[in-house]
Amino acid sequence: MPKIRHSLPAIAAAAMSLALAMPAAAAPVKFDFWFGLSGDLERVVQTLCTNFNNSQTDYQVTCTSQGNYDAALQNTIAAFRAGKQPTVVQVYDAGTATMMLSGAYYPAGKLMSENGYKIDWNDYFPGIGRYYATSKGELLSFPFNSSTALLYWNKDAFAKIGKTEAPKTWEDAGADLKALKDAGYECPMAINISGNESWQLMEQFSAIHNQPIATENNGYDGLDARLTVNKTSFVKYVTDLKSWYDQGLIKIKSKDLGQDMVQAFASGDCQMILTSVGDHGSVTKTQKAGMNWDVAELPAYAGTERKNSLVGGASLWVLSGKSSDEYKGAAAFLNFVHDPKTALFWSTNTGYIPVTKSGFDYMKSTGFYDKAPYKGREVAIASLTASEPTPITRGIRLGNFTQIRAEFGNQMQAIFSNKVTVQQGIDNLVANGNQVLDRFEATYKGKTLP
């Protein structure tokens, strides 16, 4: 039988012909995601993006931190005007009205359905979904990093005053503050009165008590909404906080003053704080050795029919002006973010809470909330679901709300430094805040919120 000889040039030529005959592997579609988180949270977002890129080969997302929420929104607006906007952007809660009126987005429901994904929009917790929804309940963006405010309390300190539970009412809280002071604690409770703390002090309080921040159901029903907090029980709340401050029962803590309130609590210096569930991990990592502490829902005044607290954080918007392939990538990315397994990764590594019922159920099934570092975070879900959202507790839909929050900080500083009375300070907040709303309404004259 004759031997068959193959020359190397012939083999090489055959291999090249075969390679040319085979279709080349398509390069992944690339798209951008801009976000407003930094520090350790930036690292977690980058890991999330890497996980998505490694989960498939069709798309590749490039994720870029803009430093903070304000910068993320402002940089996106500038980029959009230059035609260089990202495909997906994280916009914080206070920027929702601006995004809705911009018209520069691809509605979340339309994006997903047109790209073959079936999303159960009712799976989102109502207290989360409705903050970012239209007046008709349509979600235009994907809720992403979400939190709510809780009361953090030192169980060791409370044991010394004979208490085993956190105060459920502000009346009880006042008595506990005095008892802690009498027991020798220099700082029974710490608060921060900067502009950002409007979320903890004014917005959460008002929601839980079903008190409006503004007319037109907190702005959902029209751009002519104006602030009303100078006529609600918020005045009594600030009056009580100021009285406790004057008695030495409350200390003001902030980074500007050398120690923020989360550090003050974790070190055992202050025995109660009001802050986000997102700080749960920070307290766990930095707490004084051996300190026993827990979280509870924020107190409410006696006789209050408690309502749901408000969500804080941000949602993911898909911007208009991109290619169909980029939209396919964005839809795949958002579907990945929506997956319950991603919720477990996200909550484990941050402290934020799951935004869907399926995500929460999946996390419970893994025993997440039974583990010491995470036990207590489920209280945030209980707070957000304390009631079906009312027209007031579904959220706040006010234009340029960041400026109103800044004005809140200005007036709280004036109140606590005795430059104005409580009523005068809150009247000033309303007057100056309404000027902000006047300008916003004029900017979008003739437009209506969806």
What pLDDT was estimated at residue 12?
Answer: 52
Count Cβ atoms within 10 A of the Cβ of residue 441 and give its class: 0-12 exposed, 13-18 middle, 19 or more buried. Answer: middle
pLDDT band at 254 (very low <50, low <70, confident <90, very high): confident
Q: What is the pLDDT of residue 14?
A: 55
Residue 269 has pLDDT above 60, yes or no: yes
Q: How far is CA 173 from CA 60, 62, 137, 192, 321, in A?
A: 51, 47, 37, 17, 52
| 178/249 Cα distance (integer angstroms) | 7
**Distance separating alpha carbons of residues 197 and 170, to the nearest angstrom:** 18
Q: CA 12, CA 201: separation in Å to the nearest integer?
A: 74
Domains identified in the chain and CATH numbers: 29-147+312-384 (3.40.190.10), 149-309+399-443 (3.40.190.10)
Closest by CA position to 98, among listed 67, 113, 76 = 76
Least confident of 14-18, 201-205, 275-279: 14-18
What size, in residues, is the chain? Answer: 450
Strands (E) located in 301-419: 312-318
CA–CA separation, 151 vs 227, rounded Å?
26
For residue 286, give both structure tokens: 């930095």
Q: How much is the average pLDDT of 433-441?
A: 97
Per-residue model confidence as pLDDT tens digits over 361-398: 999 999 999 998 999 999 999 999 999 999 999 999 99
Which residues make Cβ contacts (< 8 Å) with residue 116, sequence separation at least 6?
331
State the pLDDT at residue 146: 95
Q: What is the mean pLDDT of the segment spanning 146-161?
A: 98
- The per-residue pLDDT for range 385-431, each reduced to its tens digit, is 999 999 999 999 999 999 999 999 999 999 999 999 999 999 999 99
**What gap in Å lies between CA 28 and CA 188, rounded to an integer?**
56
In the chain, count H helices and then E strands.
20, 10
> Helix axis angle, 340-349 relative to 357-365, nearest 10°?
70
Sign of CA dihedral 403, 405, 407, 410: negative
Cα 63 from Cα 47, distance rounded (Å): 10
pLDDT average, residue stretch 258-267: 92
Task: Report which secondary-structure segment, H or E, holds 415.
Answer: helix 401-416
Q: Rounded to an integer, what distance in angstroms lies between the CA atom of residue 429 and that of residue 184?
A: 36
Whole-prediction pTM value? Answer: 0.90
